[in-house]
Amino acid sequence: MTLRFENVSKRFGALIAIDGVTLDFAPGQITSVIGPNGAGKSTLINMAAGSYSVTAGRILLDGIELQRLKKHQIAQEGVARTYQNIRLFDGMTVLQNLEVCLFAELVGEAWAEVLLSGAARRSRAARVERCRGELARFGLEPLAEAMAGDLSYGNQKLLEIARAAILRPKLLMLDEPAAGLNHAETESLKRRLRELMRPDLIMLVVEHDMSLVMALSDHIYVLHQGKLLFAGSPQEVQANPAVQEAYLGSPGEIDQIRDTARRRTNRVRIRADADIERRRPHSV
Amino acid sequence: MTSDRSALNGAAASPALDRLGRARAIALPLVALAAAVIAVLNAPTYYVRVVDMVLIYVLLGTGLNMVVGYAGLLDLGFVAFYAIGAYSYAILASGQFDIHLHFALVLVIGGALAGLAGVLLGIPVLRLRGDYLAIVTLGFGEIVRLLLNNLDWLTNGPQGISRIDEPRILGFALAEPQDFFWLLLPLVAIAFTLVWRLECSILGLGWAAIREDQDAARGIGINTTFAKLLAFGLSATLGGVAGVVFAAFQRFVDPVSFSFWESLTVVLIIVIGGLGNLVGVAVGAAALIVLPELLRDYAEYRMLLYGAGLVAVILMRPRGLIDRRYNPAWVMRLLGWR
Amino acid sequence: MAGFLLQQLVNALTIGAIYALIALGYTMVYGVLRLINFAHSELFMLGAHISYFLLAVAAANAGGAALTLVLLLVFAATFVVVGLIGVGIEAAAYRPLRGASRLAPMLSALGVSIVLQNAVMLFVSRRPLPFPAFLPQLSFELGGAIVTAKQLFIVGFSALLMVGLTRFVNATSFGVRIRAVSENLQTAQLLGININVPISLIFFIGAGLGAVAGIFYSSYYGIAVFSMGFIVGLKAFTAAILGGIGSIPGAMLGGFALGLLETFGTGLLPIVSAGSIGTEYRDIFSFSVLVVVLLFRPSGLLGETVTEEGMVYKRDF
């Protein structure tokens, strides 16, 4: 069982975000995708999850072509993801945020829940039981009745992962899970992600935090300007000169950029802008 | 964002009533029922009529609440389903075509027709963004009214259909407003029960997720189109049922009763009562139907006051008059049913 | 035949101009606040009524020679008064709700529109008011069609206003700010623009244009009535959507497009259906256009297509 991006391209108008990339992700290991900003990392997740359409190529999960499916169908195939900027249901409780993930599984029996009062109570109880158990695994059980929107940032991130995990997905994609976390929280995250690992789970992590990536990953893909720059183990990636150049820039590049910026002029009518300039002190 | 307990758990119950002990689970509803019986049997017909109308609007509000309150979709053309239900009875149980179907049968037919219309309307329309959805449904409501006005051969046009059959249930004729009260009360009770259970079910959670963030809901595997269609269809069915009862109650229908103002009234009931809260629907219906009756002398100013009241309530309490905490769960806790 | 078509064209342009003026108000407000300003149709109605009284006053006092000046004054006064009412409505009924749910401002707008309509009905007149004819009753023939001075005036003056608006939005500093807040409200705020100024300006201009449209409409059809706003407003909104909501040139294009569609469509309906569907279906026709556009091309002719990029990280409605 594998995830494969086969010759995948994505363009937004004239901008090519991903350019003919082929990547394989194996189960039972944590594969990270890294690269400087604009490399197209989040785009990969968005395409696999169905938020973006694929301009060319295929995305295959166990032979199923994900790029043909609708978003909810992809999720029902066992694909779970977290978001860079958290998207929880703020107005629902922590427990409900988890319960609602069971929708696809349980909606078929909803009619029984409505028409038979005994069944209603029983199914709700079973559901709550299951979700509380999951919350306990993440240490969030005491917060079950709190509104998701009221949680601390760290707990919200945890809840997102709990939601992604509850249905035992085949593919778990994490979009910058460590963003905004302090050192202790990042360590905790590392532990949890390792705990979540199963032999039949494919975990794809997009991340900027290098210490986390190097400590956590079994395999790393480095993207740069929409193309695959390098692939290998954490040690190999750290040592590779091309990767270093991509992140830090080659020696002459910085000066080149400075020169160009100085020489460029904007040929736009100034009059209107000048007006705003003059008025700015009053308008703040 | 309220940081109190989850909406489904409702507010804490009153300790004073706790002292009544277990008995209150049965005692309180029985007392209420007895009071209702006595009141209805002795009150002047006029008052009972008003109560009947309130109950019909509660039915309408319960239906629309599923779409607006739970799923978060603004339907401004709800009157269309009300009209379909009403005209179903008018056409199938009157002298219009000399068809005289049984009331209970038309209740099912009218509800089904309205539900079907809801699903058919929903299929193309539900993928629109919220404010577009509002306008399209408003347009649909208007189109239905204009069709009722112009399809003379079917609906008798602006003159409407009169001399609608008197409804009969199990041999009993529903002639007086009191009779309709005995029909409407259980009908509303059943509707409340079913819709409340829906709200607590996984489907209700799915609707809440759609309301919160539709895209994220899709991301966790919710087939949002299906869920929204279901909301639309179920709410339309309830609207149709209310329409059938209305036609049987008035024994006369005409297009004027099914204008945009009706849609607006039902929306107001929900908004003023408290979005997504069944208790609020009951309160809102009572307020919006009873108040104009009390202000009969100022009937002319009714719409003006409606509008001003709407703006005032929205500005002061954007989430409605009744807080989310005071929902059916709270009522059930008061009664000791939980 | 050519005469018939030309006649329909002239009629279409006239009503189209009126729709365009009203549509501009809808589109500008929607563009910046994502709000369907239901009260806008009533400002159209108010324009007709306020000008009715101003014209009565003018007729009583002014003589023939100063007529054009007086007329322009009436137009300007109506524009300003209704514009200010529009600004007031925004400040009182919409601004406090800017952070609230998407439902709240829409319902507030509905409430305001109900209040305005009923206020006029109760305190001004329940019955239609006969609108004075302030233009000479001239008409002349053009290629088989009869064109009236009224129609020329409406189309001409509307075109002038639209050109003026376009210049204003594209070439002045106020216009820049209007475009900035329409593009991205939050960013404009972060850049230090006091967003209330361009927003109020949008409401002022939109309301004023709608009011002038009211004057045109009432003078064209000869009456002003409290209920004139609802259906015309809905049609103008259709025009705004048709042209692409949020786009100013779109509203203008949409207005004329709807005028053409409506006039030719309902003109042809009796012919096509051999008399069974008559022109009373005009309103159904326009609503159907609305429904069809929203179903098949919600971005309209010139409107923004929401890109995928925006969709992932923004809350979808």
| CA pair distance A94, B5, nearest whole angstrom | 11
Mean pLDDT of C163-191: 87
- pLDDT per residue as tens digits for the range C2-14: 777 888 899 999 9
- pLDDT per residue as tens digits for the range B246-258: 999 999 999 998 9
Mean pLDDT of A22-45: 88
Mark out chain A residues that contact chain C at CB-CB < 8 A.
Answer: 12, 46, 51-53, 83-85, 271-273, 275-276, 279-280, 282-284
B130 or B18: which leads in pLDDT: B130
Q: Which residue has the tokens 């209150």?
A: B24
- H/E stretch holding A75 reads helix A71-76
| CA pair distance C234, B142, nearest whole angstrom | 11
Query: Residue A264 — pLDDT band, cuts 50, 70, 90?
Result: low
Task: Give the residue on C whose Cα is nearest the Cα of A276.
Answer: C173
Chain-centroid distance of CA A162 in Å reads 14
| CA pair distance A38, C279, nearest whole angstrom | 58
Mean pLDDT of C283-298: 80
Question: Which residues lie across from C224 on neighbouring strands?
Answer: C129
Query: Residue A64 — pLDDT band, cuts 50, 70, 90?
Result: very high
Reply yes or no on whether the pLDDT at C253 is more than 60: yes
Task: Give the residue on B whose Cα is nearest the Cα of A112.
Answer: B201
Query: Residue C19 — pLDDT band, cuts 50, 70, 90?
Result: very high
pLDDT recorded at residue A278: 41
3-state SS class at A64: strand
Reply yes or no on whether the pLDDT at A263 is more than 80: no
- pLDDT per residue as tens digits for the range C75-84: 999 999 999 9
* Nearest C-alpha neighbor of C163 from the set C293, C9, C17: C17
pLDDT recorded at residue A25: 94
Q: With the C-alpha atoms ordered C60, C61, C63, C69, is the resulting torsion angle positive or negative?
A: negative
- pLDDT averaged over every residue in chain B: 85
| CA pair distance C295, C215, nearest whole angstrom | 33
C281 or A8: which leads in pLDDT: A8
- pLDDT averaged over every residue in chain C: 85
Nearest to A101 among B208, B218, B220 (CB): B220
* Nearest C-alpha neighbor of C204 from the set C52, C285, C293, C89: C89
pTM of the full structure: 0.82
Q: Taking CB atoms and an 8 Å limit, are C284 and B143 in contact across chains?
A: yes
Q: Which residue has the tokens 């499916």?
A: A69
Mean pLDDT of C165-192: 86
3-state SS class at A54: coil
| CA pair distance C76, C51, nearest whole angstrom | 10
Residues in chain C, overall count: 317
Query: Residue A277 — pLDDT band, cuts 50, 70, 90?
Result: very low
B41-50, B120-129, C157-166, range with greatest mean pLDDT: C157-166
Q: Which two tokens stand for residue B252?
A: 């006369």
> B221 contacts in A (CB within 8 Å)?
72, 75-76, 101, 103-104, 167
* Per-residue CA distances from C282 to C20, C259, C267, C277, C295 (Å): 18, 11, 9, 10, 20
Any A CB within 8 A of C306 CB: no
A12-16, A181-185, B115-119, B260-264, range with greatest mean pLDDT: B115-119
Chain-centroid distance of CA B3 in Å reads 29
Query: Residue A231 — pLDDT band, cuts 50, 70, 90?
Result: very high
Residue contacts between A and C (CB atoms, under 8 Å) = 35
Mean pLDDT of C139-151: 84
pLDDT recorded at residue B245: 95
| CA pair distance C220, C51, nearest whole angstrom | 14
Query: Residue B85 — pLDDT band, cuts 50, 70, 90?
Result: very high
- pLDDT per residue as tens digits for the range B224-245: 999 999 999 999 999 999 999 9
Interface test with C, best of A89, A176, A283 (most C CBs within 10 A): A283
* Nearest C-alpha neighbor of B220 from the set A123, A88, A33: A88
| CA pair distance A15, B225, nearest whole angstrom | 32
- pLDDT per residue as tens digits for the range A116-145: 878 778 888 888 999 999 999 888 989 999
Query: Residue C279 — pLDDT band, cuts 50, 70, 90?
Result: low
* Per-residue CA distances from B240 to B59, B87, B125, B244, B321 (Å): 10, 9, 19, 6, 27
> B310 contacts in C (CB within 8 Å)?
107-108, 110-111, 114
Reply yes or no on whether the pLDDT at B62 is more than 50: yes
Q: Taking CB atoms and an 8 Å limit, are B220 and A115 in contact across chains?
A: no
Phi and psi, residue B306, nearest 5°: -50, -55
Interface test with A, best of C311, C312, C315, C316 (most A CBs within 10 A): C312
pLDDT recorded at residue B20: 60
Contact (CB, 8 A) for B269 and B291: no
Any B CB within 8 A of A124 CB: yes
Any B CB within 8 A of A107 CB: yes
- pLDDT per residue as tens digits for the range C108-137: 998 999 999 999 999 998 899 999 887 777
Reply yes or no on whether the pLDDT at A279 is more than 50: no
* Nearest C-alpha neighbor of B81 from the set B134, B54, B117, B28: B117
Mean pLDDT of C42-61: 90
Reply yes or no on whether the pLDDT at C25 is more than 50: yes
- pLDDT averaged over every residue in chain A: 84
Query: Residue B169 — pLDDT band, cuts 50, 70, 90?
Result: confident
Give partners of A (≥3 CB pairs < 8 A).
Answer: B, C
Q: Report which DSSP code applies to B67.
A: I
Contact (CB, 8 A) for A46 and A91: no
pLDDT recorded at residue A56: 92
pLDDT recorded at residue A248: 63
Query: Residue B128 — pLDDT band, cuts 50, 70, 90?
Result: confident
Q: Which residues, 6+ apart, have CB-to-CB distance to C140 below 8 Å?
A: C146, C147
Mean pLDDT of A51-59: 92
Going by their DSSP bridges, the two strands A64-65 and B168-169 should be labelled as unpaired
Query: Residue A284 — pLDDT band, cuts 50, 70, 90?
Result: very low
- pLDDT per residue as tens digits for the range A87-98: 999 989 999 999
How far apart are the CA of C124 and the nearest CA of chain B, in angstroms? 14
3-state SS class at B130: helix
Query: DSSP per residue over A104-157, as a string?
Result: HHHGGGHHHHHH-HHHHHHHHHHHHHHHHHHHHHTT-GGGTTSBGGGS-HHHHH
> Per mean pLDDT, which range of A69-73, A157-161, B84-88, C64-68 is the poorest?
C64-68
Contact (CB, 8 A) for B207 and A99: no
Global ipTM: 0.82
> B8 contacts in A (CB within 8 Å)?
96
Reply yes or no on whether the pLDDT at C192 is more than 70: yes
Q: Taking CB atoms and an 8 Å limit, are B264 and C315 in contact across chains?
A: no
3-state SS class at B249: helix
Nearest to B1 among A106, A107, A150 (CB): A150
Mean pLDDT of A38-43: 80
Mean pLDDT of C54-61: 82
pLDDT recorded at residue C62: 65
Q: Which residues, 6+ apart, have CB-to-CB distance to C281 below 8 Å?
A: B146, B150, C266, C269
3-state SS class at A58: strand
Q: Taking CB atoms and an 8 Å limit, are A72 and B221 in contact across chains?
A: yes
Query: Residue A273 — pLDDT band, cuts 50, 70, 90?
Result: very low
pLDDT recorded at residue A226: 87
Angle among Cα B301, B305, B311 to the nearest 5 degrees reads 155
Any A CB within 8 A of B332 CB: no
pLDDT recorded at residue A103: 92
- H/E stretch holding A7 reads strand A3-12
The full 3-state SS of chain C, as one line of letters, equals CHHHHHHHHHHHHHHHHHHHHHHHHHHHHHHHHCCCCCCHHHHHHHHHHHHHHHHHHHHHHCCCCCHHHHHHHHHHHHHHHHHHHHHHHHHHHHHHHCCCCCHHHHHHHHHHHHHHHHHHHHHCCCCCEECCCCCCCCEEEECCEEEEHHHHHHHHHHHHHHHHHHHHHHHCHHHHHHHHHHHCHHHHHHCCCCCHHHHHHHHHHHHHHHHHHHHHHHHHHCEECCCHHHHHHHHHHHHHHHHCCCCHHHHHHHHHHHHHHHHHHHHHHHHHCCCCCCHHHHHHHHHHHHHHHHHHCCCCCCCCCCCHHHHHHCCCC
pLDDT recorded at residue A91: 86
pLDDT recorded at residue C144: 78
3-state SS class at B246: helix
Contact (CB, 8 A) for B304 and C114: yes
Q: Which two tokens stand for residue C314?
A: 């923004």
Query: Residue C138 — pLDDT band, cuts 50, 70, 90?
Result: confident
> Per mean pLDDT, which range of B245-259, C155-169, C288-302 is the poorest?
C288-302
- pLDDT per residue as tens digits for the range B170-205: 878 888 888 889 899 999 999 998 998 898 889 999
Percent of chain B scoring above 90 in pLDDT: 34
Nearest to A53 among C172, C177, C308 (CB): C308
> B318 contacts in A (CB within 8 Å)?
none
> A163 contacts in B (CB within 8 Å)?
220
pLDDT recorded at residue B14: 62
pLDDT recorded at residue C293: 84
Query: Residue B13 — pLDDT band, cuts 50, 70, 90?
Result: low
pLDDT recorded at residue C309: 45
Mean pLDDT of B105-125: 93
Contact (CB, 8 A) for A120 and B200: yes
Contact (CB, 8 A) for B284 and B69: no
Q: Which two tokens stand for residue C205?
A: 């201009």
Query: Residue C280 — pLDDT band, cuts 50, 70, 90?
Result: low
